[in-house]
Structure 1
Amino acid sequence: MAFSGDIPLFVALAVLAGVVVTLLLRPLRATGARTDIGESEVALYRDQLAEIGRDVDRGVIGEAEAEAARIEVSRRLLAADDARQRAVRENSAANPRWRKGMAVAIALGVPLVALAVYLQSGSPGLPDRPLAPRLAVSADQLPVEALVIRIERRLKAQPDDLRGWELIAPTYLRLGRYDDAAGAWTRAMILDGATAERLAARGEARVLAADGRVTGGAKADFEKAEALDPAEPRAQYFLGLADYDEGRSDAALVRWKAMLADAPEDAAWAPAVRARIKAIEGKTAKE
């Protein structure tokens, strides 16, 4: 096998093998690493508490939602601090001898085995396919995942690109990345203010992230959206769902029937709302 021209490839493979070995050795290291991780988590949760305060000052979230977020982050902060203290105590224990022997075996064995397998079965002579040229094609030729990567790169370089945030938020939603979708809508509102559509879209992402439950934060978004535009369909639908979940079926039916009365003939969401009304009325009739 000729190796001319393959030096960069083998350098990359060597680096990759080093990364793999490092990851494999991490569990065998003394628990001092866990102490560092615990301190990082504590610092992260403290930063999150400060960020909640800044969000309240900017008017992105309400005080009730902020208080709920503070309670949750504080709970995680206490848990992280307890874990950090346990790691500090464990760090004083002696490192067993078998760890060192296992570490040496892994450090030498993994790269050698990987190299042998690659030389036997690999194809180092094939041309590479760099990511950048593959992403440089027109947007309609890209799969959704690649399109997201392109937009994320642009937003990293241009974080004030409102159109980019509004484009990527519904894409995140379709991919099931609900928390990312909610964050993208929040960013859009920071840049250009809250609208009924943006608030309702963020509320929907929060509902999906909570497995269909209308959480306090989501309900606050829908109520704000309704105040800005009483005809906003997502806000009306999910507020009706909140009524139903809280045992107010009659209120939910009134809200949804009012939606249908004012709906355009071609409203895509109308069949789903009719099905929901029919199911609830059928259940009520049986009772």
Structure 2
Amino acid sequence: MIAFWILSAAMALLVGAVIVLALLRGRRSAQDAVASDIGVYRDQLREIDRDEERGTVGPEEAQRLRTEVSRRLLAADAKDASETAAGSEPKPVSRVAALLIALFLVSGSIYLYASLGAPGYGDLGLSDRIARAEEARQNRPAQSEAESDAASAPAEAPNPEYQALVERLRATVAERQNDVQGFQLLARSEAALGNYRAAYRAQERIIELKGEEATAEDYADLADMMVLAAGGYVSPEAEAAVESALNRDPENGVASYYAGLSMAQTGRPDRAFRIWDNLLRRSTAEDAWVAPIMSQIEDMAWRAGVNDYSPPVPQTALPGPTADDLEAAGELSEEDRQGMIEGMVARLSDRLATQGGSPEEWARLISAYGVLGNLDQARAILQNAEEVFLGDEAALTTVREAARSAGVEE
């Protein structure tokens, strides 16, 4: 450490000496330049006299040249006299000024390093930073500790009727410990009241009852409730739920968001940035995790060493029946399913007929009819789409691929 300070002081003194010498010699250099100009002008006057004697320059031309060169000589001489007078200050004054400048540079450098630097802190390479982040990650607070430290925000008083319903639901579930639907309703109700600890305990019971049939969404909901209960902190227990969700569905958006947040909270902005950037690129603007990611990812990119990052713009979700809609419709009775799908399809068809739409929207409509087994209607929609996109090969490829997937023969 002593060697560092000696080297730093020596470098500061060397820089100060260079600057001081430049200041002391700068005026002298200017005077030398003026003196050189005076010598040049005098040589030009002698050259004019010789040219006139040889007859190479006429008397009138020689007189004009002498006047011009003499004017320049007098200006240079006056400049030399003023700079000589200005440079005649006592040498002790110059030396004191130089010493003050040197002291200012050295003391200023030490002060800045002491204020902004980290005296006594050794170099921390990438491998060391990763190791320390992993150590901090292994020793971070547990869920219960985080919950006790989390400041509980004052919740609004719930509707008395809703509160009464939740109380009855709690009593019912307490008597029916194997009722999955009851626990699902209880978890959602407790979360709506802000009772996140009770909510995730109900969610844990759901997963326990489902066993191997527990889905990625079940584990993602558990992680979400645990993080909310801990005030936004991803505990080791919440991270375990995140990993379980991603093992079942690597594309799960909620789990991916919390996986990135966990990395950001434990000193790995590089991993957090990669996870969130990938998630944004496959998200729609309506996804719940887009807004919190967009508010943090540029800072995360900078911390990860990516200085020219521009976040991708999530796509707007396409209207019309989604895959989840179709799956939900398949679980209904035939009559209810037809009513549900007819309503969704009618809205999409009306919009496409009056406002037009993208090839993807036409493809979604064709797929919806194919899933429901209405191949004649799917074929009719395909024919309409081919008329709309006549000449647009890329669009035609999109709708025809949807038709083939739906089982419609062209």
TM superposition score normalised by structure 2 = 0.34
Which structure: larger Rg?
Answer: 2
Higher relative contact order (CA closer than 8 Å, sequence separation 6+) = 1
